[in-house]
Amino acid sequence: MKLTALRPMIYTDQLEDTIRFYTDMLGFILAGKNEDWGWASLYKDQVSIMLAKPHQHEEFEKPVFTGSFYFNTDEVDALWQSLKDKVKVCYPIENFEWEMREFAIYDNNGYLLQFGQDIAALK
């Protein structure tokens, strides 16, 4: 058995606002949406995510995730420049000892999104 993909499912009670954040701010494309289910699927390049309104199987007070969503990119500086004045920033772009140049922002729900590029790829 092999795993072929990972598509995070992000719970939100603000489905339309979240679709707009990911499409307008990050350039994702809306691949599908079902109003009855309260669900949407988005993609950009090789990355896919799903959005969903909370359902009866889990208690939902607010968006909670104990980690972050880490996106690798090939132009981290350009992405930083395009986002830094439009979003809530967790930490600005910088080089880290683990050889990544990265920054982090919050989406409209408060989920932490990190974006990084291997420093060796910048040279």
Closest by CA position to 116, among listed 67, 80, 65, 66: 80
- Within 10 Å of residue 87's Cβ, how many Cβ atoms? 16
Residue-wise pLDDT for 58-89, tens only, equals: 676 766 777 899 999 999 999 999 999 999 99
CATH, domain 67-123, list 1.10.1240.10, 1.20.200.10, 3.10.180.10, 3.80.30.20: 3.10.180.10
What's the whole-model pTM score?
0.86
pLDDT at 50 over 90: yes
CATH, domain 1-54, list 3.40.1260.10, 3.10.180.10, 3.40.50.1820, 3.40.50.620: 3.10.180.10
Whether the CA torsion 19, 23, 25, 26 is positive or negative: it is positive
Closest by CA position to 64, among listed 6, 10, 21: 10
Residue 113's Cα: distance from chain center in Å?
5
